[in-house]
A and B are shown apart, each in its own frame.
Chain A
Amino acid sequence: MRGIVKHFPGVLALKGVDLDARPAEVHVLLGENGAGKSTLIKVLSGVYPPDSGEILFEGKPVHVRSPHDAQQLGVSTIYQEFNLVPEMSVAENIFLGREPLLNRRLGIVDRKQLFQQAREVLSTFDIQVAPETIVKRLGIAQQQMVEIAKALSLNARVIVMDEPTAVLTAHEINHLFKMIQDFKQRGIAIIYISHRLEEVKRIGDRATILRDGAAVGTVLVASTPVDELIRMMVGRDLKDKFPKLSVEPGEEVLRVENLRRKGVLHGVSFHLRRGEILGVAGLVGSRRTEMARAIFGVDKIDSGHILVRGQRAEIKSPSQAIRARLALVPEDRKRHGILPTISVKHNITLSMIKRFARIGILDLGSEKKAAQGYADSLRIATPNLDRWAMYLSGGNQQKAVIAKWLGVEADIFLFDEPTRGIDVGAKVEVYQLMGELVKRGAAILMISSELPEILGMSDRVIVMREGRIAGEFTRAEANQEKILSCALGGTFNQQTGTGAEA
């Protein structure tokens, strides 16, 4: 790709970016949110037409006007949100739109052939998924494998992966990386987008760093220290990846006793103190999100108590939770956090709107002023607050979600994967924000699948497994091995022989 320029109304998203991918290499695309990574790969994969610049494939300029064009060329993209039809089988998904036909004119699908070909693709790359399985019954990691199989069945020469590991567990990541090594041996070029620098070190050959829509440089990963990569991404030195403030924990503000929900939570108990960040670790599927939703009154609980500031609290709906000054920053920002077609301003003020209302009528002036205040204090980057929230970068969207809770004086925060899909710079800002919150006397429950984050930010860590609390560690005790073995239960012990503490 050469000199790619892309405008959006009010924003120059790409200012002439070059990117080249060579066969049998993993080319990492690094950059903060809003740096232009997603836009660049959308241009490459035919979603957006570039305003200027050209794409060359095997030395020849090509026109990529649609995702179909890109696929024909051999460029397949695996997005964070999968493009699978959940109700269809694995095989049908792999060959969607290219089904082998019994009768060309009538369009009758040759199902035997379909499953046979799917099986071949899957077995070639050692993907352990049965072609007959309905996709919605698969876990996220397996769905990703189906996406990869789909790309491979198109004879992809270039595979673009947009943060493929964001939703995977450590074990699944290992498997994915083994596959990527396999692709390399087959001469496939991989363009790999990730925020996790340790992964980049593990898997990347070269890296191109984007900042503010321009390529800052392309480096060899092996010979570039992580600090240097970070400096190139953010344009400054980030001294501390986890700016942890030490706050003396105060009195208990939240106590959860024996929370049960049939088939989901099997007696969850813990407590949370003022000024404390309580990390909640666990594997995907350990019901951490479900626990947060139950506490916040979204899902009904069958039995158990929630005590807020020493008082039994009846929390049957989010509005009751908010009245008890609880706040939930949900895991899935796009589905649960952001109101996409509403202005940033109105996103921020949604929960605190009562403050500006007299008999239901709003004082728009003071609403605007308040929104501006929160946007400034959280440094939400947007040309103006009337912009729809969907046009903000992930990190700024997350800040808007957090801003929403500042105005209702929430002081018990349930953060669910607070930095998922956010780049390094914005991550640090979110951490700093969490630090400020606890310093002001808030308490934070932080669900996270990133162990460094759990270890770096938590005062105390609880580990969940299958709807139960499987263990608890102080900050001093906690380390990767202990938390992992606790989260995995017995399996990990047998495999590695290390003793579990929990």
Chain B
Amino acid sequence: MSEVGLKEIERQVSVGSDPHSRAGFLHRIPWGRIGMPAVLIILCILFGAINPNFWSVMNLTNVSRQISILALISIGQTFAILSAGIDLSVGSLLALVSVVAAQQMLNFGLWGGIAAGILAGALAGLVNGILIAKAKLPAFIATLGMLIAARGIALTLSGGLPVVGLPHAFLFLGAGKIGPIPVPAVIAAVAFVFAHLVMTRTRFGRYVYAMGSNEEAAMLSGINVVKYKTLVYVLSGMFAGIAGVVLTSRVISGQPTLGEVQELYSIAAVVIGGGKITGGVGGMWQTLMGVLILGVLANGLNLIQVSSYVQNIVIGVIIVLAVYVDLARERRR
């Protein structure tokens, strides 16, 4: 009996001096929600302290302009990754869209060119979508094919040369400002709000998460997986289309060499934000954090005069670290 009593006391002691009461406090902080914004703020404070120019209006305008292209294609990438797929073609689509938009602008004027560019992106996305959803090709393979082919089409259409002579009014899209804010940043911001609402407040958004979490269960729940998966890639292509048009305006010519490796940075943005490459986990808000962190990092490292070679090392390490921290957090659950 005394032994039982002892055991009981031991147990109460061990529960009382709960080793987790302190850890419990840290546990209660919703790291998933505030972790990345915290990292972003710390980065900003850090760079601002080293070089006060970081906070100058000109620099902040620059950052926002620079990251808006990545932001737009990362939106499409988020759709793809959330649905348990991937879109490797978005970088090349920037080039395809740029060439198509520029050429059609010469034929049909400003709006005709813009429409043609976005349409080209969406069409390429439709091809991706059909290959993945209908022909059941792995998304990695289908969009890898598109990555290479779209670049080839852009080079073929343009003969490898820039398409020049675009109307002056087109400059506004890439170089213009609304108040103090660059137009590309406004477009990216509007697109993010739109995409966020789509993911959180529409049936389509719900279905994307469902397919990414468990495709078989989603199908058995009555979701038309083929249709909505196709739509995911059409949307991704469409956002690449918008990004491509804005980028074309910034360089005020159709360029078949634009956007190389941008697809990889868009994937990086999604996973840094906390999106899972296996699908179903993440969101537009998280991706936005990923985009901002990548943008601030590149800009800040420039300002404190870290060479671009070293910048790549830092960014590579950050990507791996972000996913590692995420996994470690999950394992503790």
Contact = CB atoms under 8 A, between A and B. Distances in A.
A16 B14 contact: yes
Interface string A32-54: 00000000000000000001110
A360 B204 contact: yes
A318 B224 CA distance: 9
A454 interface: no
Nearest to B12: A16
A2 to B, nearest CB: 8
A362 B202 contact: yes
A15 B220 contact: no
Interface stretch (B72-80, B205-213, B248-256, B313-321): B205-213
Given A52-B19, A342-B209, A5 B217 contact: no
B201 A341 contact: no
A357 B222 CA distance: 16
Secondary structure call for the A interface = mixed
A357 B204 CA distance: 10
Interface string B260-303: 00000000000000001000110000000000000000000000
A9 B23 CA distance: 11
Contacts of B204: 360
Given A3-B11, A52-B14, A354 B220 contact: no
A340 B214 contact: yes
Interface in B216-239: 216-224
Contacts of A357: 202-203
Interface in A339-373: 339-342, 346, 350-351, 353-354, 357, 360-362, 364
B224 A339 contact: no
Contacts of A9: 27, 333
A408 B220 CA distance: 14
Contacts of A8: 333
A213 to B, nearest CB: 12
B277 to A, nearest CB: 13
B202 A319 contact: no
A66 interface: no
A5 B15 contact: yes
Contacts of B276: 341
A342 B203 contact: no
A296 interface: yes
Contacts of B15: 5, 15-16, 52
B11 A16 contact: yes
A298 B210 contact: no
B217 A337 contact: yes
A150 interface: no
A104 interface: no
6 contacts: A3-B14, A15-B15, A318-B219, A340-B214, A351-B221, A354-B203
Given A3-B14, A336-B217, 19 more contacts: A3-B7, A5-B15, A9-B27, A16-B14, A53-B14, A328-B220, A336-B220, A337-B220, A339-B218, A340-B214, A342-B213, A346-B206, A346-B209, A351-B221, A357-B202, A360-B204, A362-B202, A362-B203, A404-B221
Interface of B: 7, 10-11, 14-15, 19-20, 24, 27, 201-204, 206, 209-210, 212-214, 216-224, 276, 280-281, 333
